[in-house]
Amino acid sequence: MAAEAIDWAAAVRAGQRMAPTGPQVSAEQARQAVDDLQQFSAKAELIVRDTTGLGHGLPVEAARVVDRPHWIEATAKGMAELTAPLAEKLIGRLGRAPRAKTLAGAQLGVVLSFLSSRVLGQYDPLSMAGPDAAGPGVLLLVAPNIIKVERELHVDPVDFRMWVCLHESTHRLQFTAVPWLREHFRSLVAEFGSAIDTDPSEMLGRMVGAIKGRTEGSSWIETIQSPEQRAVFDQLMALMTLLEGHADHVMDAVGPAVIPSVGEIRSAFTLRRKKGRGPFDRLLRSLLGMDMKMAQYVKGAAFVRTVVERAGMDAFNTIWSSPDTLPTRAETTEPESWMRRVLT
């Protein structure tokens, strides 16, 4: 087993200990939510296939409906696998000090506890779903968070649960219907990790520069990257913008025939995204790059919508042909450039 730079068990313990309690629900409400989400995730998969033209004939897998502690455990496991190459590099440079590993785990636990009350669902393309699954990849739906948000927004629970399932099922379909995408994503993350400069003095210098004044339009994460990292980061950002935007487009494209209150849900959810919370919440979201994720939804959805409206869904699906047909980061805000490069 490869050595680890982070005590992942400590991260899970800390995250689960600090995770906020979920909303108050009765046993019947909890059972109904789990049943709905499992059924809707399978139904949503078929709707997404019809909407996108992808994945017809593939097995339909049910989602795993989890609570916050189980989301933390599953996410830590996925992060450990994804960051293994970087961990080996860090150990080679910084050593194997147990206290440092435990401290890193505890710090990561703080982040996991924060996110555990905000994530509605996620698809992990690298984790193994289990011995009976058709292939790797796990779709998680965090029931307490979905219930909490649907109550806050005062929207129809059935419609909202289907709406969330559509988004997350689109992510699952992206990786299951496009065979090369999983390994491409893994290789980009590995390449990003290999480009990380683990010299503490150089990283500290870039962090100080970021604090003094970051480049306009960039995140603090980008300002502390080396040029090699930034090149790979741009590819990752372009891919994530496409995936998030594609899922957001599908959520709305299905329309009221499937989700009668889709317009109301979209309006309420968009307003919720824009509303700021407390100072600590806003600071941590900024440090974690979550504000960048919100921008990905907007930019990516606009990119997909423009291409589909002008060229049609079949032409848009050319994007899944190979890594070379994916948009660059610049093209995610200039869909006409992508269409000229790929479709003509």
pLDDT in tens, 237-284: 899 999 999 998 998 888 888 999 999 999 999 888 766 555 445 544
pLDDT of the residue at 44:
96
Q: Is residue 199 part of a domain?
A: no
Each residue of 69-107: pLDDT tens digit? 999 999 998 888 777 666 666 555 555 566 777 887 888
Q: How much is the pLDDT for 280? A: 46
Residue 171: helix, strand or coil by DSSP?
helix
Give the per-residue pLDDT at 86: 60
> Which of 134-138, 163-167, 237-241, 283-287 shows the highest mean pLDDT?
163-167
Give me the phi and psi of 123, to 5 degrees please: -110, 120
3-state SS class at 245: helix
Please, what sign has the CA dihedral across residues 325, 330, 335, 336? negative
The Cα-based distances of 228 to 86, 192, 222 in angstroms read 15, 8, 11
Q: Report the distance separating Cα 284 and Cα 297, nearest Å.
A: 19
Amino acid 214: pLDDT = 45
Can you give the residue range of the structural domain that contains 80?
8-194+226-342
Q: For the stretch 92-101, what's the b/e string if a residue is b when 16 or more beta carbons lie within 10 angstroms of its beta carbon?
A: eeeeeeeeeb
How sure is the predictor about 136, in pLDDT bands with cuts at 50, 70 and 90? low
Scan for tokens 């968070």, then name that residue. Answer: 145
* b/e burial code for range 261-292 (CB count within 10 A of at least 16 → b): bbebbbebbeeeeeeeeeeeeeebbeeeebeb
Instruction: Inform me whether the pLDDT recorded for 194 exceeds 90.
Output: no
For residue 227, what pLDDT is reported? Answer: 74
The answer to the question of residue 104 being in a domain is: yes
The pTM of this model reads: 0.83
pLDDT at 305 over 60: yes
Residue 334 lies in a domain: yes
217 pLDDT above the threshold of 70: no
Domain count, the chain: 1
> Is 218 domain-assigned?
no
Pick the residue with more confidence: 13 or 79?
13
Does residue 123 belong to any structural domain of this protein? yes
Determine, yes or no, domain membership for 132. Answer: yes
Q: How deeply is 327 buried, as exposed, middle or buried, from its count of CB atoms within 10 A (0-12, 13-18, 19+)?
A: buried
Flag whether 242 is in a domain.
Answer: yes
**If you search the block for the tokens 């990561």, which residue do you land on?**
108
Residue 213 lies inside a defined structural domain of this protein = no
Both structure tokens of 129:
């779903």
Find tokens 């739906």 and name the residue: 141
| pLDDT on residue 229 | 79
Contact 165, 41 (CB under 8 A): yes
Confidence of residue 172 (pLDDT cuts 50, 70, 90): very high
**Position 199 pLDDT exceeds 50:** yes
Could you tell me if 108 and 6 are in contact, meaning their C-beta atoms sit under 8 angstroms apart?
A: yes
Least confident range of 57-66, 75-84, 108-117: 75-84
